[in-house]
């Protein structure tokens, strides 16, 4: 059976005849008779009895009508939900970033967004921090914030911000006498990172590895507070963004040094699937994300 058959059963049962159903279904009586015969052939039984020039449902017809009402109601509900989704009345935006601490801009953005779209939920998924672009392509999230864009025709990008990473060392460290450090200064140093692999970090990928420098050790610590304490104790160094470091600069037991003469910078992008059927609230969120996502 098709949707047209279900609509026929519902309408004829309400109107009592094919003639009266013509105006509601916008079909000729001949076409409706053909559809009814087609359906009865498929089911192998009559759906209506003719009683005093009126079509009355048979027992089998009542069973079909019950299912028809349920299915047609679900179809109408689905259409309504899609309409609300496209217009921005309801929806969900799933988001992940490539940095564990890159969420300080979220509260102010959500305050603005929720005022315009109170029924749209923003869900942050930190479990996809390691590879947000893969999660995006797999349909796990809707937006990915990354500084490592890949060339894929299914993804489009918009630039968000540029930040600078600096080396964090304990007070009195030999690096504090330098205006900046180079790749050679990292030889035999212990480097703290947020998570493995070390190749995913900007300082290693863009500075240390190309120069063929060998580190003494690489230690992954996902808590910034713990990393800062390790640095204070002289157990290693950390390279991190200046915006992420700001809350800890009041301590006089750490110091920062620029990485390379021109600095070590990262360009951040918001990545989304390259498609056209996006609801209005999605476009609004991306637009305001670009305006408000300052990583400095």
Label the pairing between strands 237-241 and 190-193.
Answer: parallel
- SS3 letters for 167-214? EEEECCCHHHHCCEECHHHHCCCEEEECCCCHHHCHHHHHHHCCCCCC
For residue 292, the model assigns a pLDDT of: 66
Per-residue pLDDT of the chain in tens (296 residues, 90 and over written 9): 888 888 988 988 888 888 888 888 888 888 988 998 999 899 999 999 888 878 999 999 999 999 999 999 999 888 877 776 666 667 889 999 887 666 666 777 777 788 878 888 889 898 998 899 999 999 999 999 998 999 999 999 999 888 899 999 999 999 999 999 999 999 999 999 988 889 989 999 999 999 999 999 999 998 899 999 999 999 999 999 988 888 888 767 999 999 999 999 999 999 999 987 777 788 888 888 877 665 55
For residue 293, the model assigns a pLDDT of: 60
For residue 128, the model assigns a pLDDT of: 92
For residue 221, the model assigns a pLDDT of: 94
Q: Which CATH fold would you assign to the domain 91-160+269-292?
A: D-Maltodextrin-Binding Protein; domain 2 (3.40.190)
For residue 101, the model assigns a pLDDT of: 60
Give whole-number Cα distances, 93 to 77, 113, 119, 282, in Å: 21, 11, 11, 7
Q: CA 90, CA 121: separation in Å to the nearest integer? A: 8
- Do 91-160+269-292 and 162-266 come out as alike in CATH topology? yes
- Crossing angle (nearest 10°) for helices 280-292 and 106-116: 150
Residue 184 phi, psi dihedral angles, 5° rounding? -60, -25
Q: Which helix (H) or strand (E) holds 106?
A: helix 106-116
**CATH of region 162-266, choose from 3.30.465.10, 3.30.1540.20, 3.40.190.10, 3.40.50.720:** 3.40.190.10
For residue 18, the model assigns a pLDDT of: 86
Label the pairing between strands 264-273 and 143-146.
Answer: antiparallel
- The residues spanned by each domain of the chain are 3-87, 91-160+269-292, 162-266
**CATH of region 3-87, choose from 1.10.10.10, 1.10.3260.10, 1.10.1040.10, 3.30.56.10:** 1.10.10.10
Q: What is the DSSP letter of 98?
A: S
């Amino acid at each position: 059976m098709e949707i047209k058959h279900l609509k026929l059963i519902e309408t004829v049962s309400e109107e009592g005849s094919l003639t009266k159903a013509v105006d509601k279904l916008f079909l000729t009586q001949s076409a409706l008779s053909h559809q009814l015969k087609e359906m009865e052939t498929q089911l192998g039984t009559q759906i209506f009895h003719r009683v005093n020039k009126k079509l009355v449902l048979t027992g089998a017809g009542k069973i079909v009508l019950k299912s028809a009402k349920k299915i047609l109601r679900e179809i109408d509900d689905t259409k309504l939900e899609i309409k609300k989704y496209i217009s921005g009345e309801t929806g969900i935006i799933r988001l992940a970033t490539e940095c564990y601490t890159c969420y300080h801009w979220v509260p102010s953005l959500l305050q603005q967004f929720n005022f315009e779209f109170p029924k749209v939920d923003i869900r942050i998924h930190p479990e996809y921090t390691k590879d947000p672009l893969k999660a995006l392509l797999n349909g796990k999230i809707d937006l990915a914030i990354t500084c490592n864009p890949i060339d894929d025709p299914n993804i489009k990008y918009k630039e968000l911000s540029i930040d600078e990473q600096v080396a964090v060392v304990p007070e009195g460290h030999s690096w504090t006498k330098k205006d900046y450090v180079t790749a050679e200064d990292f030889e035999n140093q212990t480097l703290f990172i947020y998570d493995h692999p070390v190749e995913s970090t900007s300082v290693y990928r863009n500075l240390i590895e190309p120069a063929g420098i060998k580190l003494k050790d690489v230690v992954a610590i996902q808590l910034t507070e713990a990393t800062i304490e390790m640095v204070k104790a002289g157990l290693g160094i950390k390279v991190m963004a200046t915006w992420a470091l700001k809350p800890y600069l009041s301590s006089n037991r750490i110091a920062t040094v620029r990485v390379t003469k021109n600095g070590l910078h990262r360009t951040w992008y918001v990545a989304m699937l390259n498609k056209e059927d996006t609801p209005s609230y999605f476009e609004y969120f991306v637009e305001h994300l670009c305006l408000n996502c300052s990583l400095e």
